[in-house]
Every structure is written in C-alpha cells, then in structure tokens.
Amino acid sequence: MKYSFASLFAGLVFGMGLIVSGMANPEKVLGFLDIAGLWDPSLAFVMGGAIIVGLVSFAVARKRTLSFLGFNMKLPTNNRIEKRMVIGSMMFGIGWGIAGFCPGPGLVALGAGEIKGAVFVASMVAGMVLFELFERNRARGDSETDREFAGSDAA
C-alpha cells in the first residue's frame, strides 16, 4: 500500500512539475525544439535541472541496497549503447518534435481533457502494442532459427 501511495505522490509531483515548467505545453516545447526559428531556450533550464536531479538520485541509489520504502534496488546493469537504443531515441525525438508531447506531458494533457492529449496517448498505446507484436514475432523467429540450426547439427 505504501508503494501505491508513494507512486501516486511521485506521479502528482512529476505532473505538477511538467505543468509549472511548461513541459506540458506543446507550443512551448515546439518553440524550444525550433532552434532555426524563434527558439525559446527556457526549457533547457528545466532539462538541466532534471538531469541534475537524476544524477544525484542515481548516485544515492548506487550506494543503497534498499529503496527508501524498503524495496530492493533495481538499477540498470547494461551500460552499452546499442543500435536499438539509438534508433528508439531518434524515433522518440522525431515524435516529440512532431507532436510537441512526450509520454509524461501527453498523459498530463489527457488528464486535463485535451483532445491532442487523447490522440497522442492513443497513438502511443498503439505504438506500444505494435512494438510488442513485432518483438514477439521476432523472438518466435529467433527460436525457430535456433531449433533449425540445432537440428542440422544432429544430422
């Protein structure tokens, strides 16, 4: 139960931060991303602040075995930059530049009853479903290839 309340509290604080900072406003975000036009650099300070909070949080988390709520820490173990991550990051940036939303602000807009937010979140969920379907198909293909390869060794 305390995990649920902590998650709710963190989500509310995050959502309020997005609203107060302007990150939930697609016009402000697009103004920030338009470096060739009327560039609005104010969100750079928001991102810089978020990076500092993230760096400090990870530094503290690495020194702990349990979270502040008493749960095991589950920190990333893979620190390699892989092709899939680069492609995914590029797709994220392109989508952010087109829509002016990324997932957090999109959910805030949905919660505020904005049509743009609803369309964005529906598109995001559709993309997640498609990704899962492709991944399952890819995994099934990999296991069939492995079985075929193993069968050729036995012959």
pLDDT digits (tens, 9 = 90+) for 72-128: 888 888 889 999 899 999 999 998 888 889 999 999 999 999 999 999 999 999 999
Pairwise CA distance, residues 1 & 87, whole Å: 37
Q: How many CB atoms lie within 10 A of CB 105?
A: 25
Cα angle at 59 between 76 and 63, to 5 degrees? 85
State phi, psi for 66 to the nearest 5 degrees.
-125, 150
pLDDT at 38: 86
Total domain count, the chain: 1
108 Cβ contact list (under 8 Å, min separation 6): 15, 18, 19, 24, 117
- Average of per-residue pLDDT across 139-146: 70
Confidence of residue 33 (pLDDT cuts 50, 70, 90): confident
- CA distances, 115 to each of 1, 24, 31 (Å): 33, 14, 20
* Location of structure tokens 């589950």: 74
pTM confidence score: 0.69
Identify the residue with better confidence: 152 or 124: 124
What is the tens place of the pLDDT at every residue in 37-63? 888 898 899 999 999 999 999 999 999
For residue 105, give its domain range: 2-154
